Amino acid sequence: MSNFNQLKNDGFIKLDTIQAVFKISPGDIIKVNVSNVDIQTLSIYTNFNNSGGGLVNQLGFLQLPTLGSLMVKGKTEFELKSEIEKMLKEQLIAVSPFIEIEVINKGISVLGEVNRPGRLAFQGNGITFPEALALAGDFTSFAKRNNILLIRKEENGLKYMRFNINDSSAFSNQVYFLKQNDIIYIEPNAAKVFTASQSRAILGFITGLVSLFLIVTTLR
C-alpha cells in the first residue's frame, strides 16, 4: 500500500514556520560536558554525567554541582551553555570554561501498526513525521493510514490531533514537525481487527471442545 497517494504529481505545500528551536522542559535529562577547567571541577562534572546527568524537575529547575539550582525551563541548549559558562567565571571556578549541553532523552514514541514500534531518539531541534515513520520501519500492512493520532504534551495538559497520511493534513505545521515526547499512534485497520476477533472466536471454540472432552473423559 502506498503513502501520500492523494497528493498531486507536482505541487507545493507552504509551511508557515520552520522547525522550532528545541527548548528544555521538565522531565529532560541533561549532561553538562566541561573542558578548560581545573582537575577538581572536571572530576565533579564527570561524576555528575557518569551518574546519569541531572533531571529537570516539574518546576523547571536543574540541580548542578558547584552552581546549585538553575531555572532551565524554556531555555535553549545554547542559552543554558552560555549561562553556565558565565556563572563559572563569575564564581571564579574557571577563567575561560567551555561547556557543551547534552539532553540525553530527546525522543518521540511511535506505537501501533509500524514495523519497529517504540521510542525514537533524535538530535538537534527535532524530527519530522516522515523521518519518524522511516525510523519506525514504515507502516505494517494492517495500518490504518487515514486516522493517525498525534498526542502532544502542552503546558496545562495534552493536545491530540488526527490526520491522514494520504493527504496534505500530514504536512500541516502541527503534524509535520514533531516535538519532544510526542506520541504517534497508528490504529489497526478493519482487516486486522476482524482477523483478531476471528482468532479469539476460534480459540474460544477450541478451548470449549477441549473442556468438553475432558469432562466426558472424567465421567466415564
| Residues 204, 131 within the same domain | no
If pLDDT is split at 50, 70 and 90, which confidence band does 11 have?
A: low
**pTM: predicted TM-score of the whole model, two decimal places:** 0.77
| Residues 183, 210 within the same domain | no
Q: Residue 2 falls within a domain, yes or no?
A: no
Q: Residue 21 falls within a domain, yes or no?
A: no
Structural domain range at position 118 = 107-188
| Residues 113, 183 within the same domain | yes
| Residues 112, 182 within the same domain | yes
Check: CB of residue 46 under 8 Å from CB of residue 204.
no
Q: Residue 133 falls within a domain, yes or no?
A: yes
| Residues 173, 206 within the same domain | no
Q: What is the DSSP track for 44-91? A: HHHHHHHTT-EE--TTSEEEETTTEEEE-TT-BHHHHHHHHHHHHHHT
Distances (CA, A) of 9 to 4, 30, 163, 167, 189: 10, 44, 21, 12, 27
d(CA 54, CA 67): 13
| Residues 34, 99 within the same domain | yes
Q: Residue 137 falls within a domain, yes or no?
A: yes
Determine the average pLDDT of the residues in 81-92. 96
* Tally of structural domains, the chain: 3
If pLDDT is split at 50, 70 and 90, which confidence band does 19 have?
A: confident
Pick from 6-10, 99-103, 169-173, 193-197: least confident: 193-197
| Residues 117, 55 within the same domain | no
Determine the average pLDDT of the residues in 171-181. 87
| Residues 64, 117 within the same domain | no
Q: Residue 95 falls within a domain, yes or no?
A: yes
Is residue 196's pLDDT more than 50? no
